[in-house]
A and B are shown apart, each in its own frame.
Chain A
């Protein structure tokens, strides 16, 4: 009985996190802040649903543990890959934030365009 009540509370909190993530995806101004919101759906929403599944049906705990570990690895990596792609595409931040990577990091694609057909680019192995 107490276990089922715990499962109900966990499922409601997970649903709340999923709704918060998608509302943030709707309302936040630019790509980078939206990535911050959608990360909550994967890491908090689905992981708490899996914890509730372990509480309700105890036989699935090994598969659920593997899936929790996979989600905890995959979620941040996906967010970083998408943010890197957005920065390399030149999508700008909104609302007066400061770009700390200005002039320090230009992505691999921009570096290739800058060093196109130069000896330095060939020396650094950017071209075949």
Chain B
């Protein structure tokens, strides 16, 4: 891979890490519970982006497998927590 591509990958990795930092801050100090849940969802999505970038840097596909599991579990978690936030119980 060329130097330009490697530099772009590391730049994008740094930007995504900063964005994860903001999402964690938002999950800690959100306005209401839906705001915090959106922060949780955003953290999962951005970590998936970081995993794809690491898979490109290391040139392996194992991180994309990890991303598949992360996406499925994050989806189930967000749906269950959203129903719990409304009803107080998961039906």
- The interface stretch among A75-83, A95-103, A114-122 is A75-83
* Given known A66-B68, A67-B67, A82-B78, contact A46–B61 (CB-CB < 8 A): no
Q: Using an 8 Å CB-CB cutoff, how does the interface string of B18-62 with A read, 1 for contact, 0 for none?
A: 010011001000001111011001100110110011011001010
CB-CB nearest in chain B for A56: B56
B66 nearest CB across to chain A (Å): 11
Q: Could you tell me which residues of chain B, from 54 to 87, have a CB within 8 Å of some CB in chain A?
A: 55-56, 59, 61, 64-65, 67-68, 71-72, 75, 78-79, 82-83, 85-87
Central interface residue in A8, A56, A78, by most chain B CB within 10 Å: A78
In terms of DSSP, what is the predominant structure of the interface of chain B?
A: helix
Report the contact-size class of chain B (Cβ under 8 Å from the partner).
Answer: 35 or more
Q: Using an 8 Å CB-CB cutoff, how does the interface string of A6-26 with B read, 1 for contact, 0 for none?
A: 011001101100110110011
CB–CB B64/A82 < 8 A: no
* Given known A4-B4, A70-B72, A78-B75, contact A14–B85 (CB-CB < 8 A): no
A23 nearest CB across to chain B (Å): 9
CB–CB A59/B61 < 8 A: yes
* A78 / chain B contacts, CB cutoff of 8 Å: 41, 75, 78-79
* A74 / chain B contacts, CB cutoff of 8 Å: 71, 75
A-B contact pairs, 30 of them (CB 8 A): A12-B12, A15-B11, A15-B15, A25-B23, A31-B32, A34-B38, A35-B38, A38-B38, A42-B45, A45-B49, A46-B48, A49-B49, A53-B55, A56-B56, A57-B56, A57-B59, A59-B61, A63-B61, A67-B64, A67-B67, A70-B71, A74-B71, A82-B82, A84-B82, A85-B83, A85-B85, A88-B86, A89-B33, A109-B86, A109-B87
Q: Using an 8 Å CB-CB cutoff, how does the interface string of A42-56 with B read, 1 for contact, 0 for none?
A: 100110011011001
Central interface residue in A31, A46, A70, by most chain B CB within 10 Å: A46
* A57 / chain B contacts, CB cutoff of 8 Å: 55-56, 59, 61
